[in-house]
Chains A and B, each alone.
Chain A
Amino acid sequence: MNPKKTDRRRFLKNGAALAGLAVGASASALPAAAAAEPAMEKVDELHLYGERSHFVTTVRNGSINNPERRVKDEQVAFGLRTPIQDLEGMITPASLHFTISHGFEPRDIDPQEHRLLIHGMVDRPLIFSVDELKRLPFVTRFHFVECHGNSSPRGPGGDARVSVNATPQETHGFTACSQWTGVPLSLLLKEAGVQKSATWIIAEGADEPKHSKSIPVGKAWDDALVAYGQNGEPVRPEQGFPLRLIVPGWQGINNVKWLRRIALVDEPYMAMMETSRYPSMRLDGKSRWFEFELGPKSVITRPAGGYHMPGPGFHEITGLAWSGAGTVKRVEVSTDGGRTWKDAQLHDPIARKAHTRFSIPWTWDGNEATLQSRCTDDTGTVQPTIVEVAKLWNADVDFFKKTEQVVGDFNAIQPWKINKDGSVQNALF
């Protein structure tokens, strides 16, 4: 993608939005001033909505994977990946948040028209406008959203993931972390008066295929939220504007975008995605369905694949760690291929079910080295090696190279090999 082109398009779009605003907003002093000073108008427009430096060009990669727009020879991918190697801290800018919309274009829904319906096994069915939801008590929390196929060695885009030239974006780009603001789902359930027989919820989106997901009601009472805010601004269209269900720590597919309906029911409703696309296939042909919680995972983002070491000397190693079970308690880093490990520093904020930034000082001596990180969460669960993952799968490591399937919930330790010439390579296999 040509970043300059994107910037220009965005500028034009913002200009159009501003024109619309000027018509409706009589209280604004801007239209009058702009009319008097046409030259000033242009300058103001440039700064009304901030742009990043033109020297910064990092973008998502992959494809939205809309088959109607697929160009010939385009590599089939799940979606667009976050360039995690270019991020600082633990927040993902919304503009770089990974995007998967299952082959359909993300919608941009008029929030005035949008409604959220809560019904089914409740005493009082309720329908809310977005403005009404914003009148209710809210919470603001950091949470990651991660696709269950993130870091899978195989599946769509699998070649890029296992390539020795893979970057962290290609190996682990289907995760992102935001500060979400919204109404706790438990509050809405109390308002509706959930009946005792309700054991599951169905969450449904207003996208073209009306994505539908069954979720145990215990999670709805626990920490799910109906988010309208992301990193201080409204949730972005490709993230579900105006409402997204956030289901902390659980596979991304549960975080229903464009949320329009929550039904209280007494069994999983066996929707398309949860029965046919997302179950992960075992070697014996059986499929694990309804896997929810994502295990502890971490990845070094610098130095990492695609980076070039400027030469021997000091280099702070940094990366991201997270766990669907809770808080990251510890991240250890090895620079000698896993023989010895040292504790990395965890940087604030360290939040439940959120990316946690870690770093550790290191001096490269110019020789070959293999860097890897290992996350432990506050339940004591330790991120496994690929050999341990294979054991849990009852498979050989080789299986992960050969299968045509997405290996769901694959959270093996990610090694990066530093060569003498300063190049850094993916050393998963």
Chain B
Amino acid sequence: MRFSRFLCCGIVLMAASAALAQAPSYSNVGKTPTKEEIAAWDISVGPDGKGLPVGQGTAKEGGAIFAEKCAVCHGPEGMGAKIGPRIIGGIADTETLTTLKPVRSVGGYWPYATSVWDYIRRAMPRNQSGTLTPNEVYSLTAFILSKSKIIPEDQVLNEKTLPKVQMPNRNGFVPARYEDIPDEHKRGCKQGICP
């Protein structure tokens, strides 16, 4: 990393705080969305559960939905098929991460259970995304995590319990601290390559 860029970021930050006080400059360009409009589009779910809607589901309920809507692409056991990749897999996959053929399954690699929920809701089922109800998404997430031996089969997942699920590879990422992520200087990146 480069000192000049570090300085440059400081200037940008100052410019940013100056901008904070500003009023809008361009009249009648853009509209104020209604709360409903925002709610309909705001589908982001954060790692701490921000944005998760109220709802719940279990692996048993998820299994039935999986068989009906997901197995056609991901295979009956979720081990992957022609269209969809493998999604079931737990700690055994995590142990492949130091080999030349690491397996990045949902259970073995993904650091957050909330990302599983978020991706199912935004992207699945293929070509019908956005059609699953929150309860169906909680159920499918429970099914995947239970099949991957991360949660017990009877655990109820809801907006409170889902963010508390500890994924096996949660600590497998660097830098570990969020606040170090944007700063390539702190990360020790050299010649375009981070350590």
A324: nearest residue on chain B (CB-CB)? B192
Q: Which of A67, A191, A281, A384 contacts B102 (CB 8 A)?
A: A281
Q: Which of A261, A297, A409 contacts B194 (CB 8 A)?
A: A409
- Known contacts being A202-B44, A271-B115, is A285 close to B98, with CB within 8 Å? yes
Interchain CB contact under 8 A, B191 and A119: no
Interchain CB contact under 8 A, B33 and A126: yes
Inter-chain residue pair count (beta carbon < 8 A): 217
List of B residues within 8 angstroms of A218 by Cβ: 9, 12-13, 16, 182
Over the window 34-61 of chain B, the binary record of Cβ atoms lying under 8 Å from chain A Cβ atoms (1 yes, 0 no) is 0001100111111110100000000000
List of A residues within 8 angstroms of B50 by Cβ: 265
A residues 334-391 in Cβ contact with B at 8 Å: 379-384, 388-389
Task: Please measure, in the bound complex, the distance between the C-alpha atom of A324 and the C-alpha atom of B84, giving whole angstroms.
Answer: 33
Tell me if A11 is interfacial: C-beta within 8 Å of chain B.
no
B96: nearest residue on chain A (CB-CB)? A285
Residue among A135, A290, A403 having the largest count of chain B Cβ atoms under 10 Å? A290
B38: nearest residue on chain A (CB-CB)? A119
List of A residues within 8 angstroms of B20 by Cβ: 193-196
Task: Please measure, in the bound complex, the distance between the C-alpha atom of A284 and the C-alpha atom of B45, giving whole angstroms.
Answer: 30
Binds B, one of A41-49, A54-62, A90-98, A204-212: A204-212
List of A residues within 8 angstroms of B8 by Cβ: 222
Task: Please measure, in the bound complex, the distance between the C-alpha atom of A411 and the C-alpha atom of B189, giving whole angstroms.
Answer: 13
- Known contacts being A218-B182, A269-B47, is A392 close to B193, with CB within 8 Å? yes
Task: Please measure, in the bound complex, the distance between the C-alpha atom of A186 and the C-alpha atom of B15, giving whole angstroms.
Answer: 10
Tell me if A268 is interfacial: C-beta within 8 Å of chain B.
yes
Tell me if A128 is interfacial: C-beta within 8 Å of chain B.
yes
List of A residues within 8 angstroms of B192 by Cβ: 293-297, 323-325, 381, 383-384, 409, 411
Over the window 219-258 of chain A, the binary record of Cβ atoms lying under 8 Å from chain B Cβ atoms (1 yes, 0 no) is 1011000000000000000000000000000000000000
Interchain CB contact under 8 A, A392 and B195: yes
Interchain CB contact under 8 A, B12 and A222: yes
Task: Please measure, in the bound complex, the distance between the C-alpha atom of A56 and the C-alpha atom of B157, giving whole angstroms.
Answer: 58
Interchain CB contact under 8 A, A194 and B16: yes
Interchain CB contact under 8 A, B33 and A193: no
B residues 104-123 in Cβ contact with A at 8 Å: 104, 106, 109-112, 114-115, 118-119, 122-123
Binds B, one of A20-28, A174-182, A272-280: A272-280
Interchain CB contact under 8 A, B22 and A204: no
Interchain CB contact under 8 A, B191 and A383: yes
Tell me if B160 is interfacial: C-beta within 8 Å of chain A.
no
List of B residues within 8 angstroms of A283 by Cβ: 98
List of B residues within 8 angstroms of A219 by Cβ: 182
Q: Which of A195, A196, A286, A409 contacts B193 (CB 8 A)?
A: A409
| A159 to B: closest C-beta gap in Å | 15
Task: Please measure, in the bound complex, the distance between the C-alpha atom of A269 and the C-alpha atom of B52, giving whole angstroms.
Answer: 12
Over the window 142-186 of chain A, the binary record of Cβ atoms lying under 8 Å from chain B Cβ atoms (1 yes, 0 no) is 000000000000000000000000000000000000000000001
Q: Which of A128, A379, A405 contacts B30 (CB 8 A)?
A: A128
Q: How large is the interface on A (under 10, 10 to 19, 20 to 34, 35 or more residues)?
A: 35 or more
Task: Please measure, in the bound complex, the distance between the C-alpha atom of A53 and the C-alpha atom of B118, giving whole angstroms.
Answer: 47
- Known contacts being A186-B19, A325-B2, is A411 close to B191, with CB within 8 Å? yes
A191: nearest residue on chain B (CB-CB)? B24
Tell me if B97 is interfacial: C-beta within 8 Å of chain A.
yes
- Known contacts being A208-B123, A218-B9, is A295 close to B118, with CB within 8 Å? no
Tell me if A421 is interfacial: C-beta within 8 Å of chain B.
no
B97: nearest residue on chain A (CB-CB)? A285
- Known contacts being A218-B16, A272-B118, A272-B123, is A267 close to B47, with CB within 8 Å? yes
Tell me if A263 is interfacial: C-beta within 8 Å of chain B.
yes
- Known contacts being A190-B22, A210-B43, A293-B184, is A117 close to B37, with CB within 8 Å? yes
Tell me if A52 is interfacial: C-beta within 8 Å of chain B.
no
List of A residues within 8 angstroms of B82 by Cβ: 67, 70
Tell me if A291 is interfacial: C-beta within 8 Å of chain B.
yes
Binds A, one of B62-70, B134-142, B172-180: B172-180
- Known contacts being A190-B19, A218-B9, is A270 close to B129, with CB within 8 Å? no
Interchain CB contact under 8 A, B46 and A265: yes
List of A residues within 8 angstroms of B184 by Cβ: 292-293
Interchain CB contact under 8 A, B191 and A295: yes
List of B residues within 8 angstroms of A323 by Cβ: 192
Task: Please measure, in the bound complex, the distance between the C-alpha atom of A344 and the C-alpha atom of B17, giving whole angstroms.
Answer: 43
Interchain CB contact under 8 A, B24 and A193: yes
Residue among B45, B50, B109, B194 having the largest count of chain A Cβ atoms under 10 Å? B194
Task: Provide 20 A-B residue pairs closer than 8 Å at the C-beta atoms, listed in order of the A residue.
Answer: A119-B42, A126-B33, A127-B33, A128-B29, A186-B19, A191-B24, A204-B44, A212-B122, A218-B12, A221-B12, A222-B12, A268-B178, A270-B46, A271-B44, A286-B172, A287-B173, A291-B194, A325-B192, A383-B191, A399-B100
- Additional A-B contacts beyond A209-B122, A268-B178, A384-B191 (9; CB < 8 A): A117-B41, A190-B25, A193-B22, A221-B16, A267-B48, A268-B181, A325-B2, A381-B2, A392-B191
Listed from nearest, the 6 A-B pairs whose CB atoms lie closest are A295-B192, A209-B123, A285-B97, A216-B182, A379-B2, A285-B98
Residues in B lying within 8 Å of A, measured CB to CB: 2, 4-5, 8-9, 12-13, 15-17, 19-20, 22-26, 29-33, 37-38, 41-48, 50, 82-84, 97-98, 100-102, 104, 106, 109-112, 114-115, 118-119, 122-123, 126-127, 129, 172-174, 178, 181-182, 184, 189-195
Residues in A lying within 8 Å of B, measured CB to CB: 67-68, 70, 117, 119, 124-128, 132, 135-136, 186, 189-191, 193-196, 202, 204, 208-210, 212, 216-219, 221-222, 260-261, 263, 265, 267-272, 275-277, 279, 281-297, 323-325, 379-384, 388-389, 392-394, 399, 402-405, 409, 411
